[in-house]
Amino acid sequence: MTRIRLRMFAATLALVLIAAVTVAAHMAYSKSVPGKDAALAESPAQLRVWFTQDPEPALSQLSLDGPNGEVAIGKTTVSEERSVVAEVPSTLGPGSYTVKWRSAGDDGHVQRGDFAFTIRAAD
């Protein structure tokens, strides 16, 4: 009984360690404002994306696609708490938007991803 439990514990521990190492290998999206799939009533003043590691400034870039193509946004800068920020200088109209991010963490490997949000039409 005890020996079987010990083996199960060891097997579980091994799986947890493998998962931890896999997660630690690359940086990943953690959260954002606007949030993934958020439906906003107003145009956001900025885009901010948090990652699982400190973003490498030289390799970090946000861009924004809207209903009419790419939207000009401010320079992407690394901010506190493992995040990057870019100002949104224009007022975004209603529609669907995609934030595309590119960044790298501890190992310098560039990661890319995207997420969408929508701006609701005024009532």
Applying CB under 5 A, does 42 fall inside the site for Cu ion? Answer: no
Which span sits near Cu ion by CB under 5 A: 46-54, 66-74, 91-99, 109-117? Answer: 109-117
Q: Which of 7, 31, 109, 112 binds Cu ion (CB under 5 A)?
A: 109
Q: Where are the beta strands (DSSP E) in the chain?
A: 29-33, 38-40, 46-51, 61-66, 69-71, 77-79, 83-87, 95-104, 110-119
The 3-state DSSP class for residue 59 equals helix
H/E element, 24: helix 2-25
The least CB distance from residue 20 to Cu ion, in Å, is: 15
Applying CB under 5 A, does 102 fall inside the site for Cu ion? Answer: no
The least CB distance from residue 26 to Cu ion, in Å, is: 4
| Residues in contact with Cu ion by the rule CB under 5 A | 26, 107, 109
